Structures are given as structure tokens and as C-alpha cells.
Amino acid sequence: MTEIQSAFDPRARDGYRAWTTIPIRFGDQDVMGHVNNVAIASYFEHARCEQLVPSMRPLRPRLSTVLARITIDYLREIHFPGAVDVGIRITASGTKSFVIAGAVFRAETCCATSEATMVFFDPEARRSAVPSPATWAALQFLR
């Protein structure tokens, strides 16, 4: 993997390239009265998909992406009602994969961070694939 930016702070709002606002649903809460870890994982998924799917659509069905690994650090509680902002950016890239950093913010407070490894995937061959330069160009806005 090649690191894109070495001075990136995953808890700082200004480090992210694309944003998604997600309403907090009543059902996202757990018995403790705060947003459950599974709901937070879905916030990260929603933000990745909202940004990647339109960029990758012209490349389908020949190429897709799959999630190979994700880590999430839960930093602060989140409570219903309201909304969160999820920022993402590509922080590293390899021959067949890239890493997306993400953070969930409630107002100016960073509540969770994530790092997801995405692998380019050929759905017909059912294996990883090397993307074209056009694919990387389509994802440039996230770097």
C-alpha cells in the first residue's frame, strides 16, 4: 500500500474529502440508550456506498469493490434524535485495493473513526482485479 497523506488526523473534520449526513433512527439505539455499534458500522457503510457506487457505476458489471477489512474505534456516545455527518477519504492505495478512512461526527465532536480496506473485484471471475487508470481517476475526488 502507498500512503496518500502522512499528516492525516482521522479525528479532524478538515481531513475528509466527501460527506454524508445520516439521520439517527430511534431503532439505532441499544438498551443503554445510545447508538449501537452495529448502527455506527452501518453509518460507515452508507457513506462509503453513497460515494463509491455513483463513481463506480460506469465500470459495472466488469468491476466492483468488496470490503475486505474494517476497524472501528468508538470514541463518544451518540444519542437519538438528530443526525451525524460521516466523512470519508482514501488514505492509501495498492495494486488491487485501497484504504478508506472515515469518521462519524455529531456537530464538531468526532464520535467514531474507521479504516476500511476495499478490494477491486471482478464479479464474473469472482476474484480481485487490477483497476484501470480510469477507475483511479473516478476515485480521485476521495484522495
* pLDDT by position in tens, the chain (length 143): 776 656 899 999 999 999 999 999 999 999 999 999 999 999 999 999 999 989 888 776 788 899 999 999 999 999 999 999 999 999 999 999 999 999 999 999 999 999 999 999 999 999 999 999 989 999 999 99
Domains in the chain and their CATH numbers? Answer: 2-142 (3.10.129.10)
pLDDT value at residue 56: 81
pLDDT value at residue 58: 78
pLDDT value at residue 83: 98
pLDDT value at residue 4: 63
Please list, residue by residue across 42-79, b when 16 or more beta carbons sit within 10 angstroms of its beta carbon and e when fewer do: ebbbebbebbbeebbeebeeebbbeeeebebeeeeebe
Phi-psi region of 71 (alpha: psi -120 to 50; beta: other; left: phi over 0): beta
Q: 123 near 56, Cβ under 8 Å?
A: no
